[in-house]
Structure 1
Amino acid sequence: MSDETERDFRERIRRSFARQGAMRTIGAELMRIEQGMVEIEMPFSESLTQQHGLLHAGIISTALDAAGTYAAYTLIDADASLLTIEFKVNLLSPGRGERFLFRGEVTKPGTTIIVFDGRGYAISQEAPAKLIASISGSMMVVRGRQGIQD
């Protein structure tokens, strides 16, 4: 992959991410974009918790799905887009931390379907990063569909 192509996919992902109201709402930021891998971080916010004060499972799932989707975006043509077609999240530990890191990685690239996996971590100053969730999912590559473009 040429330097120009690599810059192009990074810039395309940054533009797309900036248009996501959901990511703004949860305070998520793109932290790392590599071919086949993306990391998103977000701070803890009480407004995103469930009744026990833990990060809500829906927020964890949303961030993991976004990380996997953008990891897949690094591998598709500029004229294509992606839609999630399925995912499964395993919640492994309570979502308790000062910040959260969500990493998505492409497991199986494809021209029509892309499979991804991801991990979510709780980060705090007192302890090492703790694995709180994992995801496996798949994306459909979309081309030429009205209203769905990058």
Structure 2
Amino acid sequence: MTGIPSADFAGRIARSFERQAAMRLIGAELTRVSHGTVEIELPFDDKLTQQHGFLHAGVISAALDTACGYAAYSVIDADASILTIEFKVNLMSPGRGERFLFRGEVTKPGSNIIVADGRGYAISDGPAKLIASMTGTMMVVRGREDIAE
């Protein structure tokens, strides 16, 4: 990891996550923040399922995007922010579990563009099951009044 995090990157991420109405709506919790890695957990809720009772792909994608975005946010300067500019999600197994874990990790830090990879896991009895992967590209944003911490 070559990015140097700001002194309070974990606090910045926690404050930003609290402002994410979409994550609040789905019941997501920020559970781990470290340099280059962020984890978000989500309990199963029938309201977040598709017609077969599996966690909806849109919910999975949103949680993976958020985890990857905050992983990128952890390696940038304090006066900058992050916006996702592209991502691809592979759905590997039905989203069936009691809880879900979404981990984002910076793959390639950069001063303008950061690439992060994410993994989504279903958690029940037994080992966690990989249900989705994501690769995302994030743009570092500086000097915009409408985009701040």
TM-score range, shorter chain: over 0.9
Structure 2 matches for 1:46-57, cutoff 5 A?
46-57=46-57
1:70 and 1:12 map into 2 onto residues whose CA distance is 10
Normalising by the residue count of structure 1, what TM-score does the alignment of the two structures yield?
Answer: 0.95
Aligned to 1:117: 117
Gaps of 5+ in 2: none
Aligned identity (percent) is 72
Secondary structure, in 3 states, of the residue corresponding to 1:138?
Answer: strand
Computed over aligned residues only, the root mean square deviation of the Cα atoms, in angstroms, reads 1.4
Please name the residue that 1:69 is paired with: 69
Moved over 2 A (4+): none
Segments of structure 1 that go 5 or more residues without pairing to the other structure are none
2:141 partner letter:
V
**Aligned twin of 1:145:** 144
User: Does the residue aligned with 2:114 lie in a helix, a strand or coil?
Assistant: strand
- Distance (whole Å) between structure 1 residues aligned to residue 145 and residue 35 of structure 2: 27
Match of 1:84 in 2: 84
AA at the equivalent of 2:120: G
AA partner of residue 57 (structure 1): A
C-alpha distance in structure 2 between counterparts of 1:118 and 1:149, whole Å:
24
Cα displacement string for residues 57-89 of structure 1 (whole angstroms, at most 9, x for unaligned residues):
000000000000000111011110010000000
Matched AA of 2:29: E
CA displacement, residues 1-41 of structure 1 (integer Å, 9 cap, x when unaligned): 99x81xx1000000000000000001000111110000000
TM-superposed deviation, 1:43: 0.1
TM (normalized to structure 2)? 0.95
Task: Identify the residue that residue 134 of structure 1 maps to in structure 2.
Answer: 133
Letter in 1 for 2:40: I
Q: Distance in 2 between matches of 1:121 and 1:139?
A: 22
Counterpart in the other structure of 1:104: 104
Count of equivalent residues: 146
Aligned equivalents of 1:54, 1:116: Cα separation in 2? 25
Shift of residue 127 of structure 1?
Answer: 2.2
**SS of residue matched to 2:72:** helix
Q: CA deviation at 1:146?
A: 2.3
Q: Alignment partner of 1:67: what SS?
A: helix
How much does 1:128 deviate? 1.1
